[in-house]
Amino acid sequence: MDYLKFLHAGLAAWVKETAELCQPDKVELFDGEDASYGRLCALLIESGTFRKLSQELRPNSFLAESDPADTARVEERTFICSREKDEAGPTNNWVEPQTMKARMKSLFAGSMSGRTMYVVPYSMGPVGSSIARIGVELTDSAYVVVNMRAMTRTGLPVLKTLGKSGEFVRCLHSCGHSEKSRGKYDKTWPCDPERMAIVHFPEERMVWSYGSGYGGNALLNKKCFALRLASDRARDEVWLAEHMMIVGVTNPEEKRRYFAGAFPSACGKTNLAMLQSCLPGWKVETVGDDIAWMRFGGDGRLYAINAEAGFFGVAPYTSAKSNFNAMRCMDKDTIFTNVALTPQGDVWWEGIGWDAPEGTIGWDQGMAADGQAVPVLGQAKPLAHPNSRFTARASNCPSIDANWDNPTGVPISGIIFGGRRSTTVPLVYEARSWSHGVFVGSTLSSETTAAAAGQVGKLRRDPFAMLPFCGYNIGDYFAHWLSFGNMQGLQLPRIYQVNWFRKGEDGKFLWPGYSNNLRVLKWMFERCEGSAGGVDTPVGFMPSPGDIDTEGLGLSPEKLEKCLEIHKEDWMTEVALIRTFLLGLGDRVPNRLFKELAYLVERLGPR
C-alpha cells in the first residue's frame, strides 16, 4: 500500500476510510499482472468458487456457480440517488442521497470481515485516450477481480496514468454477509440477496453496491460506471456513453466503415458485433460488443471507442452457427458462470450445437462435500442458467478489428437500433433525419429476456437499449441526443432500425439471420456510400427487395417481401402504444418526439 499512497493521496485516503468501515482482514492492490491473476484463480479454486476445466479442452479456463438467488440484474434494487428526484426521472428508482448513504453504511459496516479488500484500478477505454476515464473498485470478491481483469485494462499502468491528483470514479462493492446461512454458498458464493442494493451517486461520480456478487451488480466498471454514471457525465461534457456494439465492415474495394448498434438483451447485438462474412470480398471485424463511448472530433465526425477490453456474453444459444467468433473466444482463458459441466471437464449450454453428454451436471445441481459434481437424473429444467455467462478478453477474438484499441476511436458512419419483434417492424429501414432517428431510438421495443429478473417474453419499450442504464432523466437524455442535430459542422451518422425476428404465419422467422445479417449491413454501407437505392415509406427509407443482396441465400422473393412489409393497421396500433409510452415519461420528454410521432401518423394516412 505504500506505492498506492505515494502515487495518489486521495485514493489512499479513500481506501483507508473504506477499510475502517468495512473491516477487511487485509487490503491488497491488484497490479493486473499474470502472476496476481493466477494466484487469485488458485484461491477461488481452493474456496470452491472456481472449478478448473479440462486443460486439453479449455486451457486456463474456469467454471463458477453462483447462489441461485444471485443470477441476474435486479432493477428494483438499483438506485440513482441524484440530489433532486426529477434528475433521476421516471425510469429510475430514487432515494435521497444522505438517507441512502446512511442505509448503505449500516450494511457495509464490517461487511468485509474475514476477507481481503482488493483495490482494482481500471481504465474504461484505452489507457491514456482522451475519451477514456479511470475508475477504482474496492471489492471483497476475488471473482470480481479476475473478471474485471478480463473486462478492462487494470493495474499499475492505470495508476501511473491517474497520477498523483487525477480524477477517478469511486466504486465500492461488497458481497456482504447474509443474516441466514446459505449452505455451501456461504463459502463459495457469499451474497445477501435480501438486502441487495446497487446505488449510484451521479454528482459525486460514485457507485456503492452491496449484497450481490454477480455480473453488472458487482462488476461496477460495466453498467454502473460505463453507462449509468458515464451517461450523466457525457451529458455534461457533450459526448455519448451508450449501450452499443461497434463493428467494422470492409467492402471488396477495401473501403471500411464502422457502425454502432443498440440492441436490448437477446436481440443479436453480440452476434452482429462478431459477425462472419457470408459475402465474397466483404469483411466484418469487431471493435466492441456492448459499450461505446462516442465523441465528435475536430473534423465533425463521430468517433467511438470500446470502453471495455473483454466480453461478458450470454452463453445459451451461442454456437458456431450463431456466433463462430464468440465460440473461438472461449477456447481458452475464459471464465464461465452458471453453465453446465460435462464429465469430460468441459462446459455445455442449451443451443451450443450438440447434445449434452450423458452425466452432464446442471449449473445449480450442487457439488458434494468433497467438491465433486453430483449427477442428476431426469433433468427437466435447463442445464445452464438462461443468463449464464462467459468472460473472455477481446484480444482472444479472431475477428478483432485492428483499430479496436485505438485511443482516437473509430469514425461511425451509421447507428443501428434493433429489437425483437415478431410483427410490425420490418427487416430494416433508414431514418429520414437525425431527429427522426432519435425518435426511432427513443421508442425501441423488444421482448424481455433472462438478463433482467422478472417476466420473460413481455414486450417493453427500451429506448436506445438504455432503459435500465440511463443515469439521469430519460427525457433529458432524449434532448441530449437531439441537441447534436442543432450543432453546426457535424457529420451526423445515418440511423437505421433492424428486426431480425419477424415471423411468418407459420410462427417461424422469415429472415435467416446470423451471418446473413451482413446482407443488411451491406445495404446500409452502400447507402452511406450513396450507391444503394431506398424506397420512401411511411416509416422511413427502405430497400426494395432488389436492393438486398440475396445471391446464394435461397430466400424466396415472397418471403423477402414479407420481411419488408408495412401494415398500416399494425403501425396505427404501434402509434397508440408509442404515444402512451412517451406521455408516461413525464413533461421533460422533448416536444420534437411528439412532432415526429405526428409526422408518422400523417405519412400513414387516414384510417
How many whole angstroms separate alpha carbon 319 and alpha carbon 524?
26
H or E element: which one contains 360? none
Q: Which residues on adjacent β-strands are paired with residue 118?
A: 28, 139
Q: Cα–chain-centroid distance for residue 185?
A: 27
Total residue length of the chain? 607
DSSP 478-507: HHHHHHGGG-TT--PPEEEEE-TT-B-TTS
Q: Name 216's Cβ contacts closer than 8 Å, sequence gap at least 6.
A: 73, 222, 223, 224
Name the burial class of residue 50, with classes exposed (0-12), middle (13-18) and buried (19+) by CB atoms within 10 angstroms of its CB: buried
Q: Give the closest residue to 107 by CA, choosing from 169, 170, 178, 171.
A: 178
How many whole angstroms separate alpha carbon 465 and alpha carbon 449?
13
Total Cβ atoms within 10 A of residue 517:
22
How many whole angstroms separate alpha carbon 259 and alpha carbon 420?
19
How many whole angstroms separate alpha carbon 323 and alpha carbon 286?
12
Q: At what angle do helices 9-22 and 97-108 cross, to 10 degrees?
A: 60
How many whole angstroms separate alpha carbon 372 and alpha carbon 51?
10
Name the burial class of residue 267, with classes exposed (0-12), middle (13-18) and buried (19+) by CB atoms within 10 angstroms of its CB: buried
- CB 401, CB 410: distance < 8 Å: yes
Q: How many separate helices (H) and strands (E) can be counted in the chain?
A: 18, 28
H or E element: which one contains 30? none
Name the burial class of residue 518, with classes exposed (0-12), middle (13-18) and buried (19+) by CB atoms within 10 angstroms of its CB: buried
Active site (annotated) includes residue 171: no
Name the burial class of residue 460, with classes exposed (0-12), middle (13-18) and buried (19+) by CB atoms within 10 angstroms of its CB: middle
Of the residues 267, 329, 470, 528, only one is catalytic, namely 267
Q: Which residues on adjacent β-strands are paired with residue 347?
A: 341
- Active site positions, annotated: 267
